[in-house]
Amino acid sequence: MNRVTLRKTLISCALLGGALLLAIVSMSLLGSERLPARASLCALASLGTRACGLTSDQFDILFQIRLPRILLAAAVGGSLATAGAGYQALLRNPLAEPYLLGISNGAAVGTMIALVFFGAVEWIRPLLAFTGALAATFAVYRLARGRAGATPERLILAGVIVTTFLSSAIVFVTTMMDATRIRSFTFWLLGDLSGTSKALLPVAITITILGALALTLHARSLNLLMLGERDAFDLGVEVGRVRVVVFLVASLLVGSSVAASGSVGYVGLVVPHLARLSLGSDNRISIPAAALGGALFVIVADTVARTIIAPRELPVGAITALIGAPLFIYLLKRV
């Protein structure tokens, strides 16, 4: 990596990382219940080792409910934005996004099957979600490759077909559930972070960090791949291997976030676009920036979702789509 890019990457990541930390702390102060700000900040600064005058209920709200949810929001946002950036670079298509390509739906079908047949075993959910995401990725990729190669239009059409097919599969799986659970599943399908599972949270965070690192390490190859697969091959990129790595890593990222929170839409589309618009299309910068920016975006969106009609709640997916769709139209008009 040349000196200018490395410096630019480090500075922008440091700035975004600072903003992320600021968001985690400040959003921890917002919720349906009011917590004393000074005491909360003191408790957060001590990383939960001191109560700083918070009552035990307030302490539990902050550290057992609010903070885990914010961290999960960060993991989900980081995962989806990183996966989106990866798909967009590999498929050379700015519209490639886990939600629009049906990959989130693949993961959702996997998760639902896990819930219906292995409801009690939590770790099966991300596993089957990953399998579903991978299968959907493979299906879209194969459908998109026509005789003339994969055109952007063909990819989006393939995504539409896979999405609708898997939506039907989701409806089919819901018929296997009892009526009382269906409503909570429709909520979950829209993307919902309220059921933060203590067991899955560390898994989701680990996968997000490792996934973002893995894709950033392949950023140079992805830069060359944006010239075209043939040119990249001539320049020494192991195209086949990079493709497998990106597909696996992105499916893992989508799978773990969908298993934890359902399908939160538009994150993988809007955030990488914003990253490229503000920092340039070099994947060595835009992938880590998208990871941090995605975390930031979903944390803010989920804070809106859990406070705007408190003590009732909205699914975070409704907020990301409400922010994401108009923003995306604006971005399209600008480019």
Partner 1 sequence: MLFVFFVPFVAPCAPVSRRIQTVVWLLLLAISFGCNSGAKPVLDGPARVTRVVSLAPNLTEIVFAVGAGDKLVGRTSYCDYPPEAKAVAEIGDTLHPSLERIIALKPQLVLISTSSQLEVFTQQLQNQNIRVFVTDPQDLEGVFKSITQIGEMLGQKDQADVLVTKLRERANAVEQAVKGKAPVRVFYQVSGEPLYTAGRDAFVTDLMHRAGITSVTADVPGAWPKYSNESALAAKPEAIILPTGGSMGAANSEVTEALRQSPAALRGRVYKINDDYLTRPGPRAIDGLEAMARALHPDAFK
Q: Which chain residues interact with partner 1 by CB under 8 A?
A: 31-33, 57, 60-61, 64-66, 69, 178-181, 183-184, 187-188, 192, 194-195, 197-198, 306, 310-313
Enumerate the β-bridge partners of residue 146.
Answer: 149
Closer to partner 1 by Cβ: residue 242 or 319: 319
CB of 239: closest distance to partner 1 in angstroms?
A: 43
Task: Please give the Cα distance from 183 to 317 (Å, whole number).
Answer: 16
Closer to partner 1 by Cβ: residue 218 or 306: 306
Task: Please give the Cα distance from 215 to 138 (Å, whole number).
Answer: 18
Phi, psi of 146 (to 5 degrees): -90, -170
Closer to partner 1 by Cβ: residue 197 or 223: 197
CB of 69: closest distance to partner 1 in angstroms?
A: 8
CB of 60: closest distance to partner 1 in angstroms?
A: 5
CB of 175: closest distance to partner 1 in angstroms?
A: 9
Closer to partner 1 by Cβ: residue 60 or 238: 60
Closer to partner 1 by Cβ: residue 74 or 269: 74
Closer to partner 1 by Cβ: residue 194 or 281: 194
Sign of the torsion formed by the C-alpha atoms of 210, 123, 119 and 306: negative
Closer to partner 1 by Cβ: residue 125 or 284: 125
Q: 149-150 and 145-146 as β-strands: parallel, antiparallel, unpaired?
A: antiparallel
Phi, psi of 106 (to 5 degrees): -60, -45
Helix axes 267-279, 283-307, angle to 10 degrees: 130
CB of 151: closest distance to partner 1 in angstroms?
A: 40
Cβ neighbors of 110 (< 8 A, separation 6 or more) are 125, 128, 129, 130, 131, 132, 133, 255, 258, 259
Query: Which alpha helices (H) appear in 175-282, and where do they start and end?
Result: 179-189, 200-217, 219-225, 229-234, 239-261, 267-279
Phi, psi of 149 (to 5 degrees): 85, 180
